[in-house]
Chain A
Amino acid sequence: MRPVAVTVAAVLTFGSLPAALAYQPRSNYQLQCMGCHHADGAGEEGRVPSVRRTLVPFSALAEGRDFVLRVPGVAQAPLTDAEIAALLNWMARNVSDVPVTAAFVDYTADEVGRARHRPLVAVRETRAQLLSRIAE
C-alpha cells in the first residue's frame, strides 16, 4: 500500500499547482517577502515592519495568528494555503530573533485558508494593539 500513500500525499501537497511553480519555503520567502522585508526579515524602519521580534510572539495568540494570516502580504501572496503555512513555519525558525519553543504551534493549510479570505482593513491599528499585548 505504500505507493498509494505516497501518491495521495503528493496530490495533497502539489495537486493544485503546476509542479514547475512549487518552490521550497526559502525560495518562496526570497520571491514573495524578501524584496521588502529584506533577507533577514528586519524590514525598513518606518516603512516595512520587521517580522523578527513579532512573528513568534504573535503566533502564540489567537488574535496574533489571525493578524499574521490576514496582513496583505500574506493573504494576497500568489501562494497556496499549504505553501503559506510552510513559509510561515519556516520564517518562525529562520528569520526570528525569538526562538521557537515546544509551545509553538505550526500553521496548517486549513488555518491559513480560514483566515486569509477575510480582508484585514485596519492593518496598522491591529498591529499596534498586538504589539502592546506582547510587550506586557
Chain B
Amino acid sequence: MKWLDRIAEGSGRALARRTSRRSLLAGIGTLLVGAAAMPLLPVARGAETKPPAGGKPAAPATGTAGDPGDPASCEYWRHCAIDGFLCSCCGGSQTQCPPGTEMSAITWVGTCHNPADGKDYVISYNDCCGKSSCGRCFCNRNERDTPLYRPGQSNDYNWCSGSTQANIPYHCSTARIVGTAE
C-alpha cells in the first residue's frame, strides 16, 4: 500500500504548492454571496410574477394599462371574488405573500372580468399563512362565490388548513392570474 501513500502525499504537496491558504476563504465567500443572490426556496419562485408580455414589470400601486387599478383597494378588478385581508396592504402584493408567511398551495379559484381588455381571467386566491390576521384592507366581494357545501368555489373557507403546515393561522389573501378563461 506504499504506492497509495506516495500518491496521496504527492497530490497533497502539489495542491499545497498550487493554491494559497486564503483561496479556501475566497471560495466560501463566493458561495455565500452567490447563494444570497439566488432565491433558493421553491415557494419564493412560485410566488414570483412574470412581467406582462409588453415587457414592463407590473407597477405595484397603480398597475399597468393591461392591469388597471390599485391592488391595495377592494375595487381592484382581480378582487371580484376575494374574502379576506388584501396582501397588498400587509407587506406583500397581489401575487406575493408578506415576509414570514407561507402561501397555501390548496386554494379556491374563480374568474374576474378585466376592464382593460374585456376578457375574463381565472384568478387563484391563494391565502398567506403563518402569522395572525393582518387586519388591514378587509375586502369581501362574492361574485360567483358558492355556499360552503360547494367548497371548491367558496371563499368562506380558511384555505390555510390546506397548507403544508396544517392549522397555521390565516394572514391575508392574494389574487394571482392563472390564465384567461376561455
Determine the chain B residues whose CB is within 8 A of the CB of A34 once the complex forms.
109, 124, 178
Chain A 11-37, CB-CB to B under 8 Å as 1, else 0, gives 000000000000110110011101110
B: which residues have CB within 8 A of A? 105-111, 122, 124, 146, 150, 152-153, 162, 164, 178-182
A: which residues have CB within 8 A of B? 23-24, 26-27, 30-32, 34-36, 38-39, 44, 47-48, 73, 76-78
Q: What total of A-B pairs shows CB separation below 8 Å?
A: 50
- B182:A30 contact, CB within 8 angstroms: no
Tell me the interface secondary structure of chain B in the complex: mixed
- B111:A31 contact, CB within 8 angstroms: yes
- A27:B106 contact, CB within 8 angstroms: no
Determine the chain B residues whose CB is within 8 A of the CB of A47 once the complex forms.
106, 162
Please tell me which one of the listed residues A31, A44, A73, A77 contacts residue B181 in the complex, with CB atoms under 8 A apart: A31
- B179:A35 contact, CB within 8 angstroms: no
Most chain A beta-carbon contacts within 10 A, residue among B105, B108, B152, B162: B152
Determine the chain A residues whose CB is within 8 A of the CB of B107 once the complex forms.
35
- B106:A44 contact, CB within 8 angstroms: yes
Please tell me which one of the listed residues B150, B152, B162, B181 contacts residue A27 in the complex, with CB atoms under 8 A apart: B181
Determine the chain A residues whose CB is within 8 A of the CB of B111 once the complex forms.
31
